[in-house]
Amino acid sequence: MKFSSRVLASLCCSTALAALAAPALANGRPPATVDVRPRSGSTQMVAGTTFGLTVSSNDGGSWQWVCEDAVGYGGTFDPDYEWSPTSGKLFATSFAGLRTTMDSCSFELDTGLAGRYIAAITFGSDGALYAAANDETSLIYRSTDDGKTFPRVSQANPPFKKYDSWLSIEVAPSDPARVYLAGIRVAAGKPTEFLLYSSTDAATNFSILPLPTFTPTAMSNIELAGVSYSNADVLFVRVTNVAGGGDAIFRSADGGTTWSATPVLTKPDSLRAFVVRRSGKVYVGTPTLGSFESTDGISFTPVAGAPHLNCVSERADGVLFGCTQNYGTPNDGAGIMKSTDGVAWSSLLRYQDISAPQSCATGTTQKDSCEVEVWCGIREQLSIASTVINCPLIVPDGMPPDAGQPPSSSGGCCETNQTPPSLLLCGVTVVLLAWRKRRKQ
């Protein structure tokens, strides 16, 4: 993960005018959902997107938008979000530590881990919260008081080295003391090392696990894909960008001591949409090649009619939530969809139906910056129909003051199923972002 500078919104419009594909937002990425986190036992859910955080308190009936600045990140970084199983607090990773919120308005920086780049977090079935730090220590921290304090639990020296980069951490649902860790080690002049570890004592000590057999490329990573709900020894890892193209899934039935000789699933596409369901089934989706299901985690069969998935998660009641394609090609017509069986999916969020920015008090970043300075640009780019907040036309210097009112949301910069927007609208978006930048300075 890395930060990148915000680019002018003209990138969005030039892409739309040139190719009628899903346009880039101010961080250079097309609008997409990258993570969906339903809160078990509740109607709350959040979804990380390339344009901020969307939140719902009524099971996806309506959605509000929170900008990156309010959460505490920017550029192309995507936070790892987790719901507390005890308090309902939402945790988000950042380069400066963990951020927490109860209302999606104020994301407070946790003082226990302030200043540390927290790359990945997860909760155990006992309510313990684990945080993996990507800094000069590469330590693992554990909290048993809902994030109030974070004693260091992993050993200071072997097997970790300084600046090991953790990509994922998982706790076995059936054994809260079994912790798995995956990452990479990069040193100048040396090939990338792929790291797999396991702990049987709640992350106090870690043992090195052997790697599955694969041929990496310069872009390969190794990540934890999932752990069985009933057997802490059944573990899946995902290797991205293997030689030949695409991703590969490997399975272990003995806690990572040995691995399947060949991948249980490999596709020339992303296999990031992976979930081990509570029923024991394994469900895997791809952005372009369909979805696949297995009853044993070894043999997979295609699932007919599934949407194009970039992520998938399961709530405790068995409902699946997927990151799907709202714009572009292929197109599912929604940024989030849901299903109970993985076959029939229904729309849960269309970006153009976002109701408003999250309503927050004056003095919060969400109110003073996101709503006042950013919302109107996002509204235009995503063709959001909401008129809750009046968005006046901002006329660029040199244009006549009577250039007219903004067109309806059906012709916005990011509406790829409509006639391409006028260059005037692109200029409006650019001026809006430039105006925001001047205010920040």
Instruction: Write out pLDDT tens, residues 99-126.
Output: 999 999 999 998 789 899 999 999 999 9
Q: Say whether pLDDT at 153 is over 60.
A: yes
Beta-ladder partners of 165? 184
Q: What is the CA radius of gyration of the chain?
A: 22
Q: Indicate the residue type of 231.
A: N
Q: Which two structure tokens, joined as six digits, stand for 75?
A: 């550029």
pLDDT value at residue 157 = 63
What's the distance, CA 289 to chain centroid? 21
- State which fold the 31-353 domain adopts: Methylamine Dehydrogenase; Chain H (2.130.10)
Greater confidence, 361 or 394?
Answer: 361
What is the separation, in whole angstroms, between the first and last Cα of the chain? Answer: 26
Q: Side chain identity at 400, as an amino acid letter?
A: P
- What does the alpha-carbon distance between residue 119 and residue 131 come to, in Å, rounded to a whole number? 8
pLDDT value at 6 more than 70? no
CB-count exposure of residue 319 (10 Å: 0-12, 13-18, 19+): middle
What is the rounded CA–CA span in Å between residue 313 and residue 245? 25
Local confidence band at 175 (pLDDT 50, 70, 90 cut-offs):
very high
What share of the chain in percent tops pLDDT 70?
83
Residues 331-356, mean pLDDT to the nearest whole number = 97
pLDDT of residue 284: 98
- Both tokens assigned to 358: 């999250």
Residue entry with tokens 């993985």? 342
Type and span of the H or E element at 227: strand 221-227
Q: What pLDDT shows up at residue 158?
A: 73
CA-based nearest residue to 304, from 286, 319, 322, 292? 292
58 beta partners: none
Please state the rounded mean pLDDT for residues 203-230: 96
Rounded Cα distance, 168 and 5, in Å: 26
Q: Are strands 52-56 and 45-49 parallel, antiparallel or unpaired?
A: antiparallel
- Contacts of residue 357, Cβ cutoff 8 Å, sequence gap at least 6: 64, 65, 66, 67, 366, 370, 371, 375, 389
d(CA 386, CA 313) in angstroms, rounded, equals 28
Confidence label for 159 from pLDDT (cuts 50, 70 and 90): confident
Question: How large is the average pLDDT for residues 143-148?
Answer: 94
pLDDT band at 396 (very low <50, low <70, confident <90, very high): low
Q: Is 68 helix (H, G, I), strand (E, B) or coil?
A: helix
Per-residue pLDDT at 403: 30
The mean of the pLDDT values for the chain is 86
- In this predicted structure, the answer to whether residue 129 has a pLDDT above a threshold of 50 is yes
The answer on pLDDT for 413 being more than 50 is no
Residues of each domain in the chain carrying CATH 2.130.10.10: 31-353
More confident residue, 315 or 23: 315
Instruction: For residue 111, report the phi and psi dihedrals to the nearest 5 degrees.
Output: -70, -25
What global pTM score does this model have?
Answer: 0.84
204 vs 121, 199, 344, 379, CA distance in Å?
A: 16, 7, 43, 47
User: Across the chain, how many H-helices and E-strands are there?
Assistant: 5, 28
By DSSP bridging, strand 64-66 and strand 356-357 are parallel
Q: Which of 2, 5, 6, 26 is nearest to 429 (CA)?
A: 26
Integer Cα distance of 137 and 164 in angstroms: 8
Contact between 312 and 351 (Cβ < 8 Å)? no
